[in-house]
Structure formats: structure tokens, C-alpha cells
């Protein structure tokens, strides 16, 4: 490794064993995702009630079902851009405040239009938070642990969905105002701000990318001290992979790296990765939200009472938990791309079986199976997406992929709401079968392997650099310069090109 401060700090992060500071970050981020899941799932369980209260048509019900996801799109997209400029930590806290306050406003909605708008704003908050937290925490975790760690983090979504199902089962049937009470309960997570504000550190990789080396060093040293005090701490592993590329560490006080817009995700070195990720996100969000947003309503429409349809839904939602955590365990064993393909394939088979099932135990079994596999995909793709981008655009890469995926999530409830009278229960899940099968083909044909590799190594393997738009990469002192197809490039002593940022 070079003697540059940034290189040393990144190597120290990679050598750390999994210990108390990592688990604390997992708990902080995980609780945020739990309440994001609870807030999103709340809409599915109040749809039958609000449809009945305001006498909504199928199209209006579908629009209301998509309200949170429309907001999710703008929240994830905006959060990624903003977080790459002002930091991950601040975006997390603002996002939490927005979704909690908007959910409270939704509880007092006088009309479906007002409810739609309040849920849309709440979705901006949940979208921002859901996109930032995995990208943020991935920058703290060694490559050898990152797959299972981020997979386990994504698994906290399932606790939110199960929590929403349990709360809805007892609160919504209480009376006409039950759905409003459920929304009030969903605002409780705002108390997390008290903990986050005091305890959440900024990403040291982000700080290095902005030239704030002293702050990054302070964060790394704090994590090392906390790890040393942890009873479970082992000595740093000598086999821990270190970044294979020397990052150019900006000197304190120098200008930050140039801003790169969303178009930067489509530069020559990143375009293939971006295309694969966007397709995968559309596939899984279309299938996921088409299923989970409407399953209580579909069951109710086919003759079950609200209470019984919610009971079916609780069983189906519980299958999310083993889905997430089985995939998290496989993330580092099989590699993320193979885990995604395996669980997408299993989901396609489950959706096909569900299309031919009756309203009986079959619905719970095959619905639970579909829930298991689709959430396993999420455990892998939340780990996979931020790995494929360098630090300078990691948050916007994650946020944009998540946002583009929400196009599938937004369209699914609307399409299902308008076509359900024509294609019926079976048709809904035959469409889901085909969509998931497309995802299998894409990831197997074009996916990149990432298991066990440092973030810097993954970026370097695809030459996934983000050069300044107005000129060549700066020459790092001690390196030589050669002329390539795209102009002068700084080359290290061993022939490697250092990147603009410590990604």
C-alpha cells in the first residue's frame, strides 16, 4: 500500500473484524429500514378500508396504492444526488423526519386526493432513506463480510412488513377509523432521530472523497477503539483483502472532486453495470409491489373477510424473514449475481404455482414461497448495487437504480388495479412469472462478480472511474504519466491508474 493517508485508512477499515461498531451501525440502519418497510406496507393494509370509505374505482385504488412508490422514486433519486454532495448522514436524518411527519398528516386526510398527496410525500422520505442506508453502511464493512452484512441489513425490511401486517390485523378491523390509527402508530420511528443525531458517524470513504482526511481519520480511529473494547473482537485478520488500487487522497483544504451528474453513471466504464442494475430493479420492484400492495385487496375481492385476508397476509409476510436471511448467508458463498439469479428463478416458479391456486391453503403456501424468494433477491441486490460504483457516485448510483426500479413498483399497482377485472387472480401472477424470468436471464448473462472483494478492487476491475468532466485525471506525485486513447493518464509505479476519488 502507498503511504498516502487515504490508502492507510481504507486498508485499516478492510482489516477490521466484524465487531460492536459494525453491529451498532447495523442496528441503527436496520431500524430505519424496518420502519420504512412498515410505512410502505401500511398502504397495502389500508387500501380495502379507504377504497370503501371513499368509494374508489379500481383505477383510483391502484393510484392510491402507487402513491408511496411515486414519492419513493423522487426520494431515492434526489437522495442519491444530494448524499454524494453533502453526506450520507444528513440525508438519512432528514428523510426519516419527512416520512414520519407526512404519515401523520395522512392520518387526518379528508379525501382520497389529500391522502394520495400525503402518502406521496411520505414516500419521498422512505425512498430517500431506503436508498441511502445500504450505500452508507457498505462503506464501513470489509469486502469479505459485506455481502452477508448488507443482506442482513436489508432483512430488516421484512420486520417492518410483518409488523405492519400484525398491527393492521388488530387495528384496522376496530372500526371505520382504524386505518387512521394505524397511520398514527407508524409515525413512532421519529424518535430514532434522537439516537442517530448523537451516534451516527459520516462515511470515512465519503469524507476522503471530499478531501476531509482528518475527519475520516477520526471516524476510523473511533471505530478501531470501539472494536478494541468489544468482547467479541479478534485481532485484525492478516488475510483480509486490501484495496488493490492506490486512491488519490485529496489534501485537506483542497477543492472537492468535480460534481458528476446522473449521466456519469452512463460513462463508458459504468454503462453496462448501470443497465443491468436498472433492469434488475425494475423486475423485482414490479413483481414485489404488484404482489404485496394488492394481496390483501385481491384476497378480500375473492371472498375473504378483511380480518381473514390479513391473517393470510401475515403468514405470507412472515416468509420474508427466512428469505432475506438465507440469501444474506449465500451472498458471500455463491456471489451476489448467482444469489440474485437463484432467487429470481425460485420466485418465477412460485408465481406460476400461485397463478393456478385456489383461495385456500395453497395461496398461503405458494404466496409464502413467492414472498421468500422475492425478498431473497432484495437481500442480494441491496448488497450488489452500491458495490458496482466508486465512492464519488455510489450514493447516486444506488439511489438512481432504486428510483428507476420504482417505475416498476409504481406501474404494478396501477396495471393490476385496472386489468384485474379482465385477467383475474391467475393472470396477475402469470405476468409476474414472466417478469421474474427476464431478470434471471439478464443477471446471468451480464452480471459482475463481487464476492469477497474490496470496493476499490471492484471499481478497478471494470476501470469504473469517474474522471473529471473537464479534463484528465490529476497526476499523483511519485507516479508517471502516459498517453492513452482518452489523453494523458496518471499511472502508478506498477502501471495502475489511480482514481480521482478513494472509491
Strand-pair category, 480-484 with 487-491: antiparallel
Instruction: State the pTM of this model.
Output: 0.71
Instruction: Note the pLDDT of residue 115.
Output: 95
Cα 432 from Cα 437, distance rounded (Å): 9
| Residue 111 to residue 300: CA distance in whole angstroms | 23
How far apart (Å, rounded) are the C-alpha atoms in residues 60 and 417?
8
Q: Which domains does the chain have, with CATH numbers?
A: 5-214+257-446 (1.20.1250.20)
**Which residue ranges in the chain fall short of pLDDT 50?**
1-3, 231-233, 235-258, 463-503
The predicted-structure confidence for 323-362, as pLDDT tens digits, reads as follows: 999 998 898 888 888 999 999 999 999 888 877 776 567 7
Query: CA 313, 318, 321, 324 torsion: positive or negative?
Result: negative
Res 339: pLDDT: 93
Residue 30 grid coordinates: 436496520
Q: What is the pLDDT of residue 303?
A: 58
**467 close to 214: Cβ distance less than 8 angstroms:** no
Q: Would you state the pLDDT for residue 118?
A: 95
- What is the rounded distance in angstroms from the CA atom of residue 402 to the CA atom of residue 389? 14
Amino acid at each position: 500500500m502507498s503511504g498516502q493517508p487515504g490508502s492507510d485508512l481504507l486498508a485499516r477499515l478492510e482489516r477490521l473484524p466484524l465487531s460492536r461498531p459494525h453491529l451498532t451501525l447495523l442496528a441503527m440502519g436496520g431500524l430505519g429500514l424496518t420502519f420504512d418497510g412498515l410505512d410502505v406496507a401500511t398502504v397495502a393494509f389500508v387500501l380495502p378500508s379507504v377504497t370503501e370509505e371513499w368509494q374508489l374505482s379500481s383505477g383510483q385504488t391502484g393510484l392510491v396504492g402507487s402513491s408511496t412508490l411515486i414519492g419513493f422514486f423522487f426520494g431515492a433519486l434526489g437522495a442519491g444526488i444530494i448524499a454524494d454532495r453533502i453526506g450520507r448522514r444528513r440525508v438519512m436524518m432528514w428523510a426519516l423526519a419527512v416520512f414520519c411527519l407526512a404519515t401523520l398528516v395522512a392520518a387526518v386526510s379528508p379525501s382520497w386526493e389529500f391522502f394520495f398527496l400525503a402518502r406521496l410525500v411520505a414516500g419521498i422520505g422512505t425512498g430517500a432513506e431506503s436508498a441511502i442506508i445500504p450505500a452508507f453502511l457498505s462503506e464501513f464493512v470489509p469486502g469479505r463480510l459485506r455481502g452477508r452484512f448488507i443482506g442482513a441489513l436489508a432483512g430488516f425490511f421484512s420486520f417492518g412488513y410483518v409488523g405492519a401486517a400484525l398491527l393492521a390485523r388488530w387495528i384496522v378491523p376496530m372500526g371505520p377509523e382504524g386505518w387512521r390509527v394505524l397511520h398514527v402508530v407508524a409515525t413512532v420511528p421519529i424518535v430514532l432521530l434522537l439516537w442517530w443525531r448523537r451516534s451516527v458517524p459520516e462515511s470515512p470513504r465519503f469524507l476522503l472523497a471530499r478531501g476531509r482526511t482528518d475527519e475520516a481519520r477520526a471516524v476510523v480511529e473511533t471505530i478501531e477503539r470501539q472494536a478494541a473494547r468489544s468482547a467479541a473482537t479478534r485481532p485484525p485478520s492478516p488475510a483480509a483483502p486490501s484495496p488493490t488500487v492506490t486512491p488519490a487522497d485529496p489534501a485537506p483544504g483542497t477543492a472537492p472532486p468535480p460534481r458528476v451528474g446522473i449521466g456519469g453513471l452512463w460513462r463508458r466504464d459504468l454503462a453496462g453495470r448501470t443497465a443491468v442494475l436498472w433492469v434488475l430493479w425494475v423486475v423485482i420492484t414490479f413483481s414485489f409491489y404488484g404482489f404485496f400492495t394488492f394481496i390483501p385487496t385481491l384476497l378480500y375481492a375473492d371472498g375473504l373477510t378483511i380480518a381473514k385476508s390479513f391473517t393470510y397476509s401475515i403468514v405470507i409476510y412472515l416468509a420474508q424473514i427466512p428469505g432475506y436471511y438465507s440469501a444474506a448467508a449465500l451472498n458471500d458463498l455463491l456471489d451476489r449475481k448467482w444469489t440474485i439469479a437463484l432467487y429470481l428463478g425460485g420466485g418465477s416458479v412460485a408465481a406460476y404455482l400461485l397463478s393456478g391456486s385456489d383461495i385456500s391453503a395453497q395461496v398461503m403456501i405458494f404466496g409464502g414461497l413467492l414472498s421468500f424468494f422475492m425478498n431473497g433477491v432484495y437481500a442480494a441486490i441491496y448488497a450488489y448495487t452500491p458495490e458496482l460504483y466508486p465512492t464519488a457516485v455510489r450514493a447516486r448510483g444506488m439511489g438512481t437504480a432504486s428510483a428507476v426500479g420504482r417505475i416498476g413498483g409504481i406501474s404494478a399497482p396501477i396495471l393490476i388495479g385496472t386489468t384485474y377485472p379482465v385477467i383475474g387472480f391467475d393472470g396477475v401472477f402469470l405476468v409476474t412469472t414472466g417478469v421474474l424470468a427476464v431478470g434471471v436471464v439478464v443477471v446471468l448473462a451480464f452480471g459482475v462478480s463481487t464476492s469477497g472483494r474490496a470496493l476499490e478492487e471492484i471499481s478497478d476491475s471494470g476501470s469504473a472511474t469517474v474522471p473529471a468532466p473537464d479534463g484528465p485525471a490529476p497526476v499523483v506525485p511519485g507516479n508517471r504519466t502516459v498517453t492513452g486513447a482518452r489523453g494523458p493518464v496518471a499511472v502508478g509505479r506498477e502501471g495502475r491508474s489511480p482514481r480521482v476519488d478513494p472509491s
